[in-house]
Structure 1
């Protein structure tokens, strides 16, 4: 695989991942969406199918890592650090593009949701509503773009992301890799998609299961930049957890793989 193939593959694949994954959250959350209220099970399966679609789409180009934690885990397991920054760049840029596409696809619903008086009344910290001096942490649609904890306990939130990502990357390393060991196989893409569903159902409750630094950071940047009315804050005080936690989980999974499986 050339560096250009890796960058293009990761960009396209991660954009599709976020478009479909963020799209299912938007569908469930936003006012005037036909799927509003469909619930957590719809979100978890939506994200799983998003992974499967993206992996099969770009696996032949880049190996379909689509996640810096996966890239880090594979690099450690194989002791091959070539192109790691190309993977990271494609993933971050792709995640930003995917998040912007979600906004375009749901443009009217975002406007309806963020100008709805019932929604605004439940968000006293949204800028301009009650307290102009308040420093809003998470706006009413931030969850469509990135993750956040239900209970803000730093060590628990970090541990949850580490545990979930360890499961994901260990599954990739033990069940998902192709013959070269550098990307997902055809069967591996399906297995990993169902692992993502399982993680969402079992471990997604506390933090929303980022388990992917690019998936969280790229869309969070887009949320901060988009001209959304009454959007509130992007919760940058929390943003390091879904970056550091998954990277630590990816490294831990690689260590477990080397000790137990090689």
Structure 2
């Protein structure tokens, strides 16, 4: 599913087309996403100018003059800018039509995404208010990570995937960051040493920034706003490389299951 780098790539790709533009209308072809699109959303958003487009974790926040749309791409969603008259394809569920004649088209084969509305600060919405600090922000540092890991028996990889502790990392980037930090994913969070947290924070940021530069990672459905795949997959060190030689030491990469998700690590480079 799209993680922080894919969502940030989407935000950067569509931002020039939507910021400071007036929404002419919203066409909802299929309201039944993870949560039903509010029936009143098209009428509330029409005629309003998009003041800014933000990202919080894996949510896109369209701040209008009076209220905000909160969009989540789910497992297979994508947003693309195109002429409003472009023929509709299967799973094209929503068009946000702009005054420019372009539209922002939301496609979601699995319909696990969402498009919601709030007239309050979107950061206080129930879906967002308990989220952890952004991993690329100053609030996310070694002291913070050490504090939330202290005394916790849960595996460090599971901690990194808990959105109330760390947001936007997800399965792919947690595996990659732990490799670069030299920490085995199954080690309990409480057993990560104090000197390892700065290395882990640095690795998380390094992996996320590199993925953003490459336009995200293509694993099944993801494409960027131009319809092109992300290329970070070609640079993965461990994820989906079970049995292949480690790029550093040539030891075969191991694959295990944690929390019903595949985990990959190098038994030599990680301890």
* Shared fold per TM-score greater than 0.5: no
- TM-score of the aligned structures, taking structure 1 as reference length: 0.28
* Greater relative CO, 1 or 2 (CA 8 Å, sep 6+): 1
Higher helix share: 1
Structure label with greater radius of gyration = 2
- TM-score of the aligned structures, taking structure 2 as reference length: 0.27
